[in-house]
Amino acid sequence: MRNKHKAIKDASCLETVIFGKNLKDLFENAAFEMYSLIAKPDSEKKKKPFKITVTANNTEDLLMAYLKELIHYYSVRKILLCSVNVMLLTENKVHAKLTGEELGRRHHISHNIKSAKYGVANGAAKIIKTRTGYKTQIIFDVNIGKSSISL
């Protein structure tokens, strides 16, 4: 298995290639990659459990809806993801148990991610089945300059 992700930086976006041995693994790795680009969690802070359930028309739309929901937890609820466990994944639904911590001044926000979309690699987009599992290319749009998130 290759790396779980590979990041390519640009001025206003971060482009990543995310790998997973199966779709569940791909969804978990996409969440971890996105949050690793935002900030590191504080290992000493108390973690809060939460659950999310997201539905969509197909697996590719589901991944984007899932990431959009996780961006909401970061930007609106001020939660930094620490762990994720996809409990249920079908073509139209994902249910995950997560732990997170409240964002605080102690966190250094590396990239203020505001949205996610599929990238285009070799003329193809979306989720691609490979010999060793799955991969996808995602572009995270970021705010340039100081973080606009108020803590």
List of domains in the chain: 5-143 (3.55.10.10)
- What is the structure's pLDDT at 5? 47
User: 43 CB contacts (<8 Å, ≥6 apart)?
Assistant: none
- What is the structure's pLDDT at 148? 44
- What is the structure's pLDDT at 43? 67
The helix (run of H) or strand (run of E) holding residue 63 is helix 59-75
- What is the structure's pLDDT at 2? 41
Q: Which parts of the chain have pLDDT scores under 50?
A: 1-3, 5-6, 122-123, 146-151
- What is the structure's pLDDT at 151? 47
**What is the pTM for the complete model shown?**
0.84
- What is the structure's pLDDT at 22? 97
- What is the structure's pLDDT at 32? 93
The helix (run of H) or strand (run of E) holding residue 69 is helix 59-75
- What is the structure's pLDDT at 10? 55
Q: Which of 53, 54, 110 is nearest to 80 (CA)?
A: 110
Contact in structure between 94 and 119 (CB atoms under 8 Å): no
- What is the structure's pLDDT at 30? 95
Q: Which of 111, 120, 124, 123 is nearest to 139 (CA)?
A: 120
- What is the structure's pLDDT at 142? 87
